[in-house]
Amino acid sequence: MEDKILLDKILDKAKQSESKGKIENTDFLDMYQVALAKKFIVQNKMNNVLLYGGYENAERKVAIFYPNNVELDPNDSEILEIVRIKLWKDEKYTHRNYLGGIIKIGMKREKIGDILVAEDGADIIVKSETAKALAQELATLTRFQNSQISVEKIINIRQPEIKVEEVDIIVPSLRLDSVVSDLAKTSRSKAVEILAQERVFVNGQNETKPSKIIKIGDIITIRGKGRFVIKEMKGNTRSGRNILLVEKYV
């Protein structure tokens, strides 16, 4: 039902953009919704639509629809902005601290994009229509009372530094539940639960089927655990288990 509601909204936004001759956009979509939207857009041969989250590898994105007579530059379109928080001196906050603050002030999650955490604060990607209100409300929270909070243009986003490390994992098979079990450092049965909770994405597509076979080059994202790239099949152990070289985002 929720999927149908989302796809109906996407179709409505596309029709509104065409009929009114102006830019229309959705709220932020999570990874599962982005994958669903991509498939729907292709199936319906929709043109003049862009899925955008403020930077190239954004996980949460809005669907932007624009008429034929508009050359869209999302960085200049005033659709997205940044609420930048600069912490006081030696304060250190995690993604959870920032998201918790947003939830506390009553802002809906779909109004917020990625939260890019830095050493001295964070850039929170937000729709322009709610940026000022978010900045003002966050300033009322005790945790941010000494912070500098400002609204910045999306083009000024502080791109996250991507760090990776290579690790070997040994799995009995290339089934998704087997690989997730090792990547998440949990049992096979728990990995199946994680899949059922729709927390696993392969190449941006939500996957719930434990028996799906993983291939070299696949990008696996496990919510709460991280993102991994299957780089190479290095061989087999004497017992026949698979040795995989994995690139882990840290």
Whether residue 152 is found in the same domain as residue 179: no
> Which strands form 80-86's sheet, in the order they lie side by side?
112-118, 121-127, 80-86, 148-153
Which H or E run contains 236?
strand 226-236
Kindly report, residue by residue over 77-102, the tens digit of the pLDDT. Answer: 789 999 999 998 888 898 889 999 99
Q: Is there a domain that residue 70 lies in?
A: no
> So what's the pLDDT on residue 163?
80
Predicted confidence band at 171 (pLDDT cuts at 50, 70, 90)?
Answer: very high
> So what's the pLDDT on residue 206?
83
User: Residue 211: which residues within 8 A CB-CB, separation 6 or more?
Assistant: 175, 176, 177
Whether residue 227 is found in the same domain as residue 169: yes
Q: Is there a domain that residue 87 lies in?
A: yes
Q: What is the CATH number of the domain that holds 55?
A: 3.30.1370
Structural domain boundaries, residue 36 = 2-65
Contact 62, 25 (CB under 8 A): yes
Whether residue 147 is found in the same domain as residue 126: yes
